């Protein structure tokens, strides 16, 4: 069956490294937005990524307005909104509980994942909306769903918004799991401490028609190895399968991939398995790096944020370096410590989550 092509035509983001332009400058300069924080856990340091206090919901509207301004649309009345988020409005509920020491005044509608789509619907009036919560693959899965809907002609315009705010639930939860670093994370480093929890917003407009600035979303796929509640399959079966299927969906070969935008959280389990998966699937050893040493792990927003980074790498024809790497654990994968100028045709962007939930997206330069 013939499928409609899918194009990334406009986007904007906000993270601890700033907006999209500021983010890309920081990535290539290897300047991290992570700060050391003790406000969530007074007796423990944590490397976190944050922007202005209490600015999350206003920033959602600002970032989305920027995408509309950059688009070929007058408004979003013909656009489907798909939100990917891990925590939704949990931060609001926490504030009420800590202030009042009671659950009584917590509004369930402002606690749920859908509070993000409700906020954006009030501001922009989308044709319809959906919300997806699959932990750290949330917005990557939202992009995959958008691709499928445009492929079959169900929608011409889909806006994917990945968004998660910092909150006690995530910061303390990852600390309890023993995977939270007390300094800037060091993905793929031999001696690494863990991840940095961060907040982020990323909005990506996907359409069935191309523009001069388009990057094509060629393929996507998901898998679930269901090995463990939090740890991935140590043999990397799910990660390999996911990437392989995304490449097949794109209609290309593994040898065509020029750059792997890695999930690369800086935890022991994730980095070892992802490096093994890349080493196994890509015999030609494409460049690979994780940008989470700059942005931190933005949880449900990570897939959309890193889709933007993948598109920017293609537009710049410049590989993102691996920040904070001095001694790689796996020396058989190609981790550049400085930016690399080269022809970039195809990029694969990985998102991996708890429960062995894996998603990969393949982007390509226009032909």
Tell me how far apart the alpha carbons of residues 330 and 308 are, in angstroms, rounded to a whole number: 27
Flag whether 165 is in a domain: yes
Q: Are 240 and 280 in contact (CB under 8 A)?
A: yes
Around Cβ 23, how many Cβ atoms within 10 Å?
25
pLDDT at 166: 96
Task: State the catalytic residue, choosing from 111, 167, 185, 297.
Answer: 297
Which segments of 178-301 does DSSP mark as H helices, in order?
A: 237-250, 268-281, 292-295
Flag whether 34 is in a domain: yes
Q: Is 250 helix (H, G, I), strand (E, B) or coil?
A: helix
User: How many structural domains does the chain have?
Assistant: 1
Per the annotation, the verdict on 172 as an active-site residue is no
Global pTM reads 0.97
- Which helix (H) or strand (E) segment holds residue 283: the answer is none
Tens of pLDDT, residue by residue, the chain (367 residues): 678 999 999 999 999 999 999 999 999 999 999 999 999 998 999 999 999 888 999 999 999 999 999 999 999 999 999 999 999 999 999 999 999 999 999 999 999 999 999 999 999 999 999 999 999 999 999 999 999 999 999 999 999 999 999 999 999 999 999 999 999 999 999 999 999 999 999 999 999 999 999 999 999 999 988 887 778 888 999 999 999 999 999 999 999 999 999 999 999 999 999 999 999 999 999 999 999 999 999 999 999 999 999 999 999 999 999 999 999 999 999 999 999 999 999 999 999 998 789 999 999 999 8
pLDDT tens column, 157-197: 999 999 999 999 999 999 999 999 999 999 999 999 999 99
Flag whether 234 is in a domain: yes
CA atoms within 13 A on the CB side of 254: 15
Tell me how far apart the alpha carbons of residues 145 and 192 are, in angstroms, rounded to a whole number: 34
Flag whether 11 is in a domain: yes
Closest to 85 in 3D by CA, of 170, 178, 175, 147: 170
Strand partners of residue 207: 7, 157
Per the annotation, the verdict on 228 as an active-site residue is no
Beta strand extents in 154-312 (DSSP E only): 157-164, 197-198, 200-207, 215-224, 259-261, 287-289
Tell me how far apart the alpha carbons of residues 298 and 50 are, in angstroms, rounded to a whole number: 10
CA R_g for the chain: 19
Q: Are 120 and 161 in contact (CB under 8 A)?
A: yes
Closest to 171 in 3D by CA, of 286, 65, 299: 299
Token pair listed for 156: 């011409």
For position 37, which CATH number holds?
3.40.47.10
pLDDT tens column, 196-227: 999 999 999 999 999 999 999 999 999 988 88
Strand partners of residue 221: 360
Tell me how far apart the alpha carbons of residues 305 and 300 are, in angstroms, rounded to a whole number: 9
Per the annotation, the verdict on 297 as an active-site residue is yes
Flag whether 1 is in a domain: no
Task: State the catalytic residue, choosing from 16, 136, 242, 311.
Answer: 136
Strand partners of residue 216: 7, 364
Token pair listed for 21: 């332009």
Its domain, for residue 148, covers 7-364
Tell me how far apart the alpha carbons of residues 274 and 264 are, in angstroms, rounded to a whole number: 7
């Amino acid at each position: 069956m013939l499928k409609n092509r899918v194009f990334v035509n406009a986007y904007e983001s906000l993270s601890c490294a700033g907006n999209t332009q500021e983010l890309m400058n920081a990535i290539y300069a290897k300047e991290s937005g992570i700060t050391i924080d003790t406000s969530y856990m007074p007796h423990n340091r944590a490397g976190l990524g944050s922007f202005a206090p209490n600015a999350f919901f206003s920033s959602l509207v600002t970032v989305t307005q920027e995408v509309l301004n950059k688009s070929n649309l007058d408004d979003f009345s013909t656009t489907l909104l798909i939100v990917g988020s891990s925590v939704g409005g949990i931060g609001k509920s926490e504030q009420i509980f800590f202030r009042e020491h009671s659950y009584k005044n917590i509004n369930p509608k402002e606690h749920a994942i859908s509070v993000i789509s409700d906020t954006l619907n009030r501001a922009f009036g989308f044709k319809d909306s959906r919300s997806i919560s699959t932990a750290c693959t949330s917005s990557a899965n939202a992009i995959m769903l958008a691709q499928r809907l445009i492929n079959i002609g169900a929608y011409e315009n889909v806006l994917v918004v990945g968004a998660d705010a910092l909150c006690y639930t995530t910061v303390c939860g990852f600390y309890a799991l023993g995977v939270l670093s007390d300094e800037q994370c060091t993905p793929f480093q031999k001696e690494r401490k863990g991840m940095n929890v961060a907040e982020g917003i990323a909005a990506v407009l996907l359409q069935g028609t191309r523009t001069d600035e388009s990057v094509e979303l060629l393929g996507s796929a998901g898998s679930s190895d269901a090995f463990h509640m939090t740890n991935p399959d140590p043999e990397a079966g799910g990660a390999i399968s996911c990437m392989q299927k995304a490449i097949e969906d794109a209609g290309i070969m593994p040898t065509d991939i020029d750059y792997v935008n890695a999930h690369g959280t800086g935890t022991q389990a994730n980095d070892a398995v992802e490096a093994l998966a890349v080493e196994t699937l890509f015999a030609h050893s494409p460049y690979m790096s994780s940008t989470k040493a700059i942005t931190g792990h933005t949880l449900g927003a990570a897939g959309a944020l890193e889709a933007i980074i993948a598109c920017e790498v293609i537009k710049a024809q410049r590989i993102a370096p691996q920040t904070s790497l001095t001694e790689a654990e796996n020396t058989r994968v190609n981790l550049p410590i400085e930016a690399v100028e080269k022809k970039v045709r195809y990029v694969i962007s990985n998102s991996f989550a708890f429960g062995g939930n894996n998603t990969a997206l393949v982007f390509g330069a226009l032909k």
